[in-house]
Amino acid sequence: MNYTFYLVVFIYKFYYWELTYNYYSKEKRMSNHIKPIGFIGIGLMGNCLVKRLIKKEYTINIYDKNKDNLKDLMNKKRILLSTSPAKLSQDCDVIFICVDNTKSVADVVFQDNGIIKNASKNTIIVDLSTTLANETVNFSNKL
């Protein structure tokens, strides 16, 4: 698998999403996104993406097992803190995962307090983590 391809596709989609966002009026945008966007893993990449979305006036629900990573975002407007991935999945229809490895993705999604505990069948999970491609396919099949 070519990871560069997936990264380019994500960057293109994120850029397209931003262009679309700027095209529509604020009222129309906000009516399409009633629930906040979820982010699990607020490291270097997650932090930058969350800050960008905040600038675009999205409400973001965040969770990180390392509470020190959340300090930078705690006092910002449009930031909600979750106590677990399960709680975050209850409040969000779109969830981005930015964790460090394949095992962490499995823990965040499938453990007792994982995303699948409260996620609906319409929940969209976007994994931006450094994971093994075959394991990502296995995760998708489990869902």
Going residue by residue through the chain, which has 143 residues, state the pLDDT in tens, using 9 for 90 and above: 444 444 444 555 555 555 555 555 555 545 455 688 999 999 889 999 999 999 988 999 999 999 888 888 888 888 999 999 999 999 999 999 999 999 999 999 999 899 988 888 888 999 998 888 888 888 888 87
CA–CA distance, 125 with 83 (Å, rounded to integer): 18
CA–CA distance, 105 with 41 (Å, rounded to integer): 10
Contact present, 128 and 97 (Cβ < 8 Å) = yes
Contact present, 94 and 120 (Cβ < 8 Å) = no
- Both tokens assigned to 68: 């020190």
CA–CA distance, 125 with 60 (Å, rounded to integer): 15
